[in-house]
Amino acid sequence: MPLVHKLLSWYNLNQRDLPWRRNPDPYKTLVSEIMLQQTRVEAVLPPYERFMQRFPSIKDLAFATQDEVLTFWQGLGYYSRARRLHQAAQIIMTEHDGLIPSDKNTLQALPGIGDYTCGAILSIAFHQPEVAMDGNLLRVGARLFLIRDPINRTKAKTAIKTGFESTVPVERPGDFNQALMDLGSSICLPKHPRCGECPLSDHCQAYVQGEAMLLPIKDAPKPPVPVQVQLYLVESDKTILFRQRLAGGFLQGMWELPWYETDTLQVAEEYGWISVPLESGSREKVYEMEYIFSHRHWFMTIFHYKVVEPFYTPQDENTLYRWQPLHSVDTIALPTVFKKVLELVQNSLSG
Ligand code: SF4
């Protein structure tokens, strides 16, 4: 039996029941596939349900504020994806009459639609014979086609994609991609592939050669760059000062506790950059904490200040500031690092 038939027969019996697979449409596919970039299925499920309840159509998403979109993206991280999805929705409304494009070039021109997402949308939502190369397909492909080059390099990616392109069936291209994703996450596992249960073992060159456990090969990722950060937790009357930087930079568009990387500090004054009369209050405590992002390793010094009247909000044309009551902090889009900071200092917070 050809590989495709074995794969799809296995998928018929073993496919995961996922909310975006029920009555699929292009919008569900767009949202779910962007959420699935760099994020595991299990982590996507709760935020996806909440997001679709609040933004059930491309129109609802396009007309929402960025703030609200980011708030409903909480739990997924990599917030730039949410900003780009929001921008894409707005372009789809204004330039494509609210219809997600089914043409490859038009689709790829939208913000946030890379090769993988484009292949997923075209194959799943529009039944076009495209390959959606995610991490699962890369791993399964490296083993099936015995690719010994590191899979994070273009040469290996191209070889694997070419292999799948010559295999993807015109009848069920979306199921083909999703079957490979499911196979990768349940059978062709990264460290211990369960070849004895695999429907493709007869076709798998790595298995036949006894190299399944040795592949794929990957270049070691670069370690996150260590960065010294000073962070200010400014509290007044049971509210906390947050800021949102509107233009460029790391964590752009997110609400955050004011911070700066000490290497880039330009001003001599200790806290002149924040423009808050910290001297009107008292410094409660200083904490140390580490947090690792994908590319940065923050070594934070956290200054907890309690300030008193005047209740002052700093002004800056590129930055918004707001005082948020402690009890409602979870209603704003706050990256995990700042939630951890709040947890760390919670015992010395007022109220
Ligand atoms: S036979 Fe083993 S290595 Fe090959 S695709 Fe199946 S699980 Fe993966």
Range of the domain at 29: 3-214
pLDDT at 266: 46
Residues 136 and 265 in one domain: no
Query: Is 167 a member of any domain?
Result: yes
For residue 169 the two structure tokens come to: 């069936």
Residues 167 and 241 in one domain: no
Residue with CA closest to ligand 1 atom 3: 212
- The answer to whether 198 and 187 have CB atoms below 8 angstroms apart is yes
In short, whether 201's Cβ falls inside 6 Å of ligand 1 is: yes
- The answer to whether 48 and 19 have CB atoms below 8 angstroms apart is yes
Residues 207 and 247 in one domain: no
Strand 255-256 versus strand 225-236 pairing type: unpaired
pLDDT at 77: 82
Cis peptide, bond prior to residue 193, ω within 30 of zero = no
For residue 196, the CA-to-ligand 1 centroid distance in Å is 8
Query: Is 314 a member of any domain?
Result: yes
Residues 233 and 290 in one domain: yes
CA distances from residue 112 to 52, 78, 81, 123, 225 in whole angstroms, order as listed? 18, 12, 6, 17, 25
Q: How many angstroms separate the CA atoms of 55 and 231, rounded?
A: 34
For residue 202, the CA-to-ligand 1 centroid distance in Å is 9
Residues 33 and 125 in one domain: yes
Q: How many angstroms separate the CA atoms of 214 and 143, rounded?
A: 9
For residue 188, the CA-to-ligand 1 centroid distance in Å is 5
Residues 210 and 301 in one domain: no
Q: Give me the active site residues, please.
A: 33
Residues 207-215, mean pLDDT to the nearest whole number? 96
Residues 268 and 210 in one domain: no
Residues 185 and 235 in one domain: no
In short, whether 233's Cβ falls inside 6 Å of ligand 1 is: no
For residues 236 and 57, which has the higher predicted lDDT (pLDDT)?
57
Confidence at 218, pLDDT banded by 50, 70, 90: very high
- String of b and e for 225-245 (b: at least 16 CB within 10 Å)? eebebbbbbbbbeebbbbbbb
Residue 270 has pLDDT above 80, yes or no: no
Residues 250 and 313 in one domain: yes
In short, whether 207's Cβ falls inside 6 Å of ligand 1 is: yes
**Ligand 1, atom nearest to 212 Cα:** 3
Residues 189 and 251 in one domain: no
In short, whether 184's Cβ falls inside 6 Å of ligand 1 is: no
For residue 192, the CA-to-ligand 1 centroid distance in Å is 10
In short, whether 140's Cβ falls inside 6 Å of ligand 1 is: yes
CATH code at 275? Answer: 3.90.79.10
Q: What is the pLDDT of residues 129-172, one digit of tens each?
A: 999 999 999 999 999 999 999 999 999 999 999 999 999 999 99
Residue with CA closest to ligand 1 atom 2: 195
Query: Is 220 a member of any domain?
Result: no
For residue 252, the CA-to-ligand 1 centroid distance in Å is 41
Residues 310-326, mean pLDDT to the nearest whole number? 76
Best mutation site among 180, 188, 213 for ligand 1 pocket (most ligand atoms within 8 Å of CB): 188
In short, whether 188's Cβ falls inside 6 Å of ligand 1 is: yes
For residue 137, the tally of other CB atoms under 10 A from its CB is 25
Residue 283 has pLDDT above 80, yes or no: no
Cis peptide, bond prior to residue 216, ω within 30 of zero = yes
The tally of domains found in the chain comes to 2
In short, whether 145's Cβ falls inside 6 Å of ligand 1 is: no
Confidence at 79, pLDDT banded by 50, 70, 90: confident
CATH code at 12? Answer: 1.10.340.30
Best mutation site among 6, 151, 180, 207 for ligand 1 pocket (most ligand atoms within 8 Å of CB): 207
